[in-house]
């Protein structure tokens, strides 16, 4: 099958971020000559899927007044990326004075209504020539802010190409923070987002729950595409022995920040009670985040902060753990932010053969999905005591561990097999390209065909 040329805007292929991993696994096997990426701050991209990158620099970034008056701001070098350094593995982040000041500055910009105003991306002559030389058929973007909405809209208008939008989380609802200008920015972002949706040819979500919500909210059908897995890659290292280990390792791997903070402390408190009662348990946290909650977590003597490993080592790391946790915070803001998302690592957790514990509200897609398909032990109320009981049950029952893992592995093989998911994913672009050339309503054609 011949696939169209894809111009990816806003995110690049990598093996350390959720969006990058999902994109890498979805586009795996595509002809590399038919993929090109435009993104900012490109660092250690994965070259196995794509090796044609354009880094947005000062030539494509316009800072509005008064942010264009900073005399100490260095020009951002952009243009085609010709050489790429070997990927680096970072240690868990530390909270520094600079990181605290940066967070305070960002919060101030949000309160003053200036955060979404400070800059815009523009189409420079150099970028336009690079795009024309590539000659794409379709634009694809994992939108995440108003800058990308405007930029993708400008590119679509300039290039007259169909657009594919893939939503990773419900950021349009949560991106505007509290302050005097929150309502203004919420309305403006919503208006510009809806305008781009009306011109899109392919609409994708990260979960079935998001697709249902977006059909009701925006009136368009979104086809769900979650992170697919390669069964051979994960199966080669999957857990086979469910005898209890000493220590029993509870592992959280991934981002720490908005929506994933207090839940980790709850887990630590639950483990603390079990350790006090004599259980041999360690809580391993694998992250590069520098969230202040890490300082609280480090205070527990059974907590171990681990540096992330290269992606090819993840199956072994997940399989060596005794319990994998997927936690979310229970406050309204966190639930709103994560409500329709399913973490990238969920399908990978399932394939690892290690039992999973979901600690999240019933209002979130991940909890609903886990309860419906029984691939995890679920604690859906915020309660350290219920969490302690759940961890103890899994810790003390080998059959329970094995049964949880078996159901999850079977579900991942049936629903997230990479070959199956990638075929459907690629067909969405083929249908879009075909409909566009025929002058049909591509959005209606693609989404109706894929939902059949």
Residue 258: its pLDDT value, please? 86
Buried b (16+ CB within 10 A) or exposed e, 107-126: eebbeebebbbeeebebbee
Helix (H) or strand (E) holding 405: helix 398-415
Instruction: Over range 200-209, report the average pLDDT.
Output: 94
Give the DSSP letter of residue 36: E
CA distance 421 to 94: 38
Tell me: the pLDDT tens digits for 262-286?
A: 999 999 999 999 999 999 999 999 9
What string of DSSP letters covers 210-275? HHHHHHHHHS---EE----B-HHHHHTT-----SPPSSEEEEEES--BTTBSHHHHHHHHHHHHHH
Tokens of 349: 């957790």
Q: What is the pLDDT of residues 357-408, one digit of tens each?
A: 999 999 999 999 999 999 999 999 999 999 999 999 999 999 999 999 999 9
Mention every residue, 6+ apart, whose C-beta is less than 8 A from residue 154: 121, 122, 123
**pLDDT tier for residue 296 given thresholds of 50, 70 and 90:** very high
C-alpha pair distances (Å), 227 with each of 19, 282, 421: 9, 28, 9
- Long-range contacts of residues 32-35, Cβ cutoff 8 Å, at least 24 apart: 34/3, 34/4, 34/5, 34/6, 35/5, 35/6, 35/8
Give the pLDDT confidence of 117-168 residue by residue, as tens digits.
Answer: 777 899 999 999 999 999 999 999 999 999 999 999 999 999 999 999 999 9
CA distances from 72 to 75, 121, 139, 195 (A): 10, 21, 35, 37
pLDDT band at 438, cuts 50/70/90?
very low
287/103: higher pLDDT = 287
Q: Is the pLDDT of residue 216 over 90?
A: yes
pLDDT at 101 over 80: no
Whether the CB-CB separation of 210 and 170 falls below 8 Å is answered with yes
What is the average pLDDT across 327-335? Answer: 94
Check residue 96 and give its pLDDT.
54
What pLDDT, in 10s, does the model give residues 145-158?
A: 999 999 999 999 99
Task: Determine the pLDDT at residue 4.
Answer: 92
CA atoms within 13 A on the CB side of 213: 18
Q: Residues near 287 by Cβ (< 8 Å), separated by ≥ 6?
A: 92, 93, 252, 253, 254, 255, 256, 294, 305, 308
Of 54-63, 79-88, 297-306, minimum mean pLDDT range: 79-88
The pLDDT score that the predictor gives to residue 81 is: 87
Q: What's the pLDDT score for residue 205? A: 95
Q: Is the peptide bond between 8 and the residue preceding it cis, with omega within 30 degrees of 0?
A: no
| pLDDT band per the 50, 70, 90 thresholds, residue 441 | very low
Of 263-277, 334-348, 404-418, which range is least confident? 334-348
Q: Binning pLDDT at 50, 70 and 90, where does residue 180 land?
A: confident
Q: Please state, in angstroms and rounded to a whole number, the distance separating the CA atoms of residues 297 and 318.
A: 21
| Residue 85 pLDDT greater than 70, yes or no | no
Domains of the chain: 6-228+418-450 (3.40.50.2000), 231-415 (3.40.50.2000)
Q: What percent of the chain clears pLDDT 90, i.e. is strictly above it? A: 65
Decide: residue 399, CB within 10 A, 0-12 exposed, 13-18 middle, 19+ buried.
exposed
Instruction: Give the model's confidence band at 244: pLDDT under 50 very low, under 70 low, under 90 confident, else very high.
Output: confident
Q: Is residue 432 pLDDT above 80, yes or no?
A: no
Mean pLDDT of the chain: 88
What percentage of the chain has pLDDT greater than the value 70? 86
């Amino acid at each position: 099958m011949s696939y169209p040329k894809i111009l990816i805007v806003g995110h690049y292929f990598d093996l350390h971020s959720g969006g990058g991993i999902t994109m890498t696994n979805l586009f795996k096997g595509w002809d590399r000559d038919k993929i090109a990426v435009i993104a900012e701050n490109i660092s250690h991209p994965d070259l196995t899927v794509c090796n044609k990158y354009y880094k947005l620099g000062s030539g494509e970034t316009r800072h509005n007044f008064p942010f264009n008056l900073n005399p100490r701001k260095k020009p951002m070098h952009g243009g085609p990326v010709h050489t790429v350094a070997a990927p680096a593995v970072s240690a868990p982040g530390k909270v520094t004075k600079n990181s605290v000041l940066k967070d305070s500055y960002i919060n101030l910009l949000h309160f003053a209504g200036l955060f979404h105003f400070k800059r815009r991306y523009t189409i420079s002559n150099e970028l336009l020539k690079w795009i024309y030389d590539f000659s794409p058929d379709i634009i694809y973007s994992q939108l995440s802010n108003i800058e990308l909405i405007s930029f993708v809209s400008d590119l679509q208008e300039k290039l007259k190409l169909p657009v594919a939008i893939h939503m990773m989380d419900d950021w349009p609802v949560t991106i505007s923070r509290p302050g005097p200008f929150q309502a203004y920015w919420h309305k403006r972002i919503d208006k510009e987002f809806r305008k781009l949706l009306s011109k899109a040819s392919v609409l994708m979500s990260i979960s079935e729950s998001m697709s249902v919500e977006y059909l009701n909210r925006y009136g368009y059908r979104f086809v769900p595409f979650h992170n697919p897995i390669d069964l051979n890659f994960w199966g080669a290292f999957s857990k086979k022995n469910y005898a209890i280990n000493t220590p029993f390792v509870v592992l959280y791997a991934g981002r720490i920040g908005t929506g994933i903070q207090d839940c980790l402390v709850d887990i630590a408190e639950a483990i603390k009670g079990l350790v006090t009662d004599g259980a041999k348990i360690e809580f391993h946290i694998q992250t590069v985040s520098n969230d202040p909650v890490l300082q609280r977590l480090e205070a527990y003597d059974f907590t171990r902060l681990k540096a992330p490993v290269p992606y090819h080592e993840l199956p072994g790391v997940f399989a060596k753990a005794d319990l994998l946790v997927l936690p979310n915070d229970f406050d309204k803001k966190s639930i709103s932010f994560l409500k329709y998302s399913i973490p990238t690592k969920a399908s990978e957790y399932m394939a690892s053969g290690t039992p999973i514990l979901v600690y999240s509200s019933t209002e979130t897609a991940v909890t609903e999905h886990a309860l419906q398909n029984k691939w995890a032990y679920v604690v859906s109320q915020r309660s350290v005591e219920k969490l302690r009981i759940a961890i103890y049950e899994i810790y003390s029952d080998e059959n329970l561990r094995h049964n949880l893992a078996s159901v999850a592995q079977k579900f991942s093989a049936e629903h997230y097999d990479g070959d199956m998911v990638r075929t459907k994913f690629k067909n969405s672009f083929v249908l879009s390209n075909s409909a566009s050339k025929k002058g049909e309503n591509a959005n209606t054609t693609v989404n109706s065909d894929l939902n059949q």
